[in-house]
Amino acid sequence: MQISNYIQQSFQVNYAYRVFFSDHIFEPTNTQLAAWLREQASPHYRKRLLVVADDGVWQSHPYLQAQVSAYFQAVKEVELAPEIIVIPGGEACKNDEALFFRLVDAIDKYAIDRHSFVIGIGGGSVLDLVGFAAAVSHRGVRHIRIPTTVLSQNDSGVGVKNGINFKGKKNFLGAFAPPAAVFNDAHFLTTLDARDWRAGMVEAVKVALIKDAAFFEWMEGAATALAARDMDAMQKLVFRCAELHMQHIGGGGDPFESGSSRPLDFGHWSAHKLEQLTNFSLRHGEAVSIGIALDSVYANLIGWLDKPSMERILHLLQQMGLPLYHPLLDMQAGATSPVIKGLEEFREHLGGRLTICLLKAIGQGAEINDMDVTLLQQAGDILKQLTVVSQ
């Protein structure tokens, strides 16, 4: 028998899922979800379903408890677990280790195996937690996402990441685990509070700025309607934003982020720091709006982005009711803003070399490996002036 120095392993894994768009998905006459479940049915096996819901959604839509049970019970090809698990919504659920283990327990108790489904209904926080609990149970139970916020319908819920916080470290524990399917129901968005409605739109601005000038122009035209909670405009925004995110993930060559290029994190380096420094009193989207503003002014200062484009960006964010500035951008006692100081931490986090996406033009992001702290502070000061003047 021959032996050699090493054996080379290599293989591919294929992933595929659909993101559906509809509304009132649990009304008996809406067959989209039921039809999908029937397509998954196996002749030898009745798949089981475990539903985990966001209490914020359950409170805003009290009819859901009965409607959801009735809907799934009517699909004879599947078997709904006897309990719908309702958990607190919002970031807090991602900090709660006991809640994670409660979900794992329920997956065990209700015999949700690798042929069955866990269904998360809620905002990005609940979906991140539910997706992670499913991803590690039985080495990967499939999960279906039903996102209920703008952010989760157009960004977090249509992608491949899941996770929870660990000892205050955001998303420290998590997995890349694509959903089995996603069902975006526009009706849920009607009950969002004003800040969540607005904050979710910023991911559309972000992805338009780096990839799709036409979409940006469309948002300029629709800005007033969007700010006034026009549902038709919002559904279009959600659709195109989800599509651009999905195209990047599926077509960008690095769906599970093994490299260090992250164009979808445009505007995010300072946003993450702002969220942290404000103890998450800023919504993610609000922080990203400020981050986009900062990096757009910076791009203009280094000669990448022309001034009219920069002004269009700031104007669109303002029309959407999103902030451009926060006092943490100011110099503190003569020293650089603590947000801008975060750049150094971010550089270390990346392992010594920055890879940041900045704008060459509207619709055209490009990578840069260095940013000048003095110029960044200048950008922060410009935003302060603009905001003070406009108030």
Ligand X SMILES: NC(=O)c1ccc[n+]([C@@H]2O[C@H](COP(=O)([O-])OP(=O)(O)OC[C@H]3O[C@@H](n4cnc5c(N)ncnc54)[C@H](O)[C@@H]3O)[C@@H](O)[C@H]2O)c1
**Residues engaged in binding ligand X (CB under 6 A):** 54, 56-57, 60, 89-91, 94, 122-126, 128, 148-149, 151-152, 155-156, 159, 161-162, 188, 191-192, 196, 284
Closest CB to ligand X among residues 107, 127? 127
Closest CB to its own copies among residues 47, 326? 47
Least Cβ distance, residue 180 to ligand X (angstroms): 16
Residue 57 binding partner per list its own copies, ligand X, none, with a CB distance cut-off of 5 to 8 Å that depends on partner kind: ligand X
312 token code pair: 């269009």
Cα–Cα dist 197/187, whole Å: 13
Least Cβ distance, residue 152 to ligand X (angstroms): 4
97 token code pair: 């280790």
Least Cβ distance, residue 183 to ligand X (angstroms): 13
Closest CB to ligand X among residues 57, 182? 57
Closest CB to its own copies among residues 6, 279? 6
Give the E-state strand segments of 28-84 in sequence order.
47-54, 78-80
Closest CB to ligand X among residues 25, 305? 25
Residue 91 binding partner per list its own copies, ligand X, none, with a CB distance cut-off of 5 to 8 Å that depends on partner kind: ligand X
Least Cβ distance, residue 354 to its own copies (angstroms): 10
Least Cβ distance, residue 261 to its own copies (angstroms): 13
Cα–Cα dist 41/37, whole Å: 6
Closest CB to its own copies among residues 206, 248? 248
Residue 56 binding partner per list ligand X, its own copies, none, with a CB distance cut-off of 5 to 8 Å that depends on partner kind: ligand X
Cα–Cα dist 174/136, whole Å: 9
Least Cβ distance, residue 362 to ligand X (angstroms): 23
**Residue 181, SS3?**
strand
**Residue 361, SS3?**
strand
Four-residue CA torsion sign, 75, 77, 80, 82? positive
Residue 178 binding partner per list ligand X, its own copies, none, with a CB distance cut-off of 5 to 8 Å that depends on partner kind: its own copies
Q: Residue 340 in contact with residue 329, Cβ under 8 Å?
A: yes
Least Cβ distance, residue 75 to its own copies (angstroms): 17
Residue 228 binding partner per list its own copies, ligand X, none, with a CB distance cut-off of 5 to 8 Å that depends on partner kind: none
Closest CB to its own copies among residues 96, 330? 96
Residue 26 binding partner per list ligand X, its own copies, none, with a CB distance cut-off of 5 to 8 Å that depends on partner kind: none
What would you report as the CA-atom Rg of the chain, rounded to the nearest whole angstrom? 22
Write the CA distances from 265 to 34, 78, 145, 195, 260, integer angstroms.
35, 39, 22, 21, 11
Residue 90 binding partner per list ligand X, its own copies, none, with a CB distance cut-off of 5 to 8 Å that depends on partner kind: ligand X
- Helix H or strand E segment including 379: helix 373-390
Least Cβ distance, residue 253 to ligand X (angstroms): 18
Q: Residue 286 in contact with residue 323, Cβ under 8 Å?
A: yes
Closest CA to 126 of 52, 24, 195, 25: 52
Q: Residue 145 in contact with residue 131, Cβ under 8 Å?
A: yes
59 token code pair: 């409170």
Closest CB to its own copies among residues 127, 329? 127
11 token code pair: 């293989």
**Residue 87, SS3?**
strand
Residue 281 binding partner per list its own copies, ligand X, none, with a CB distance cut-off of 5 to 8 Å that depends on partner kind: none
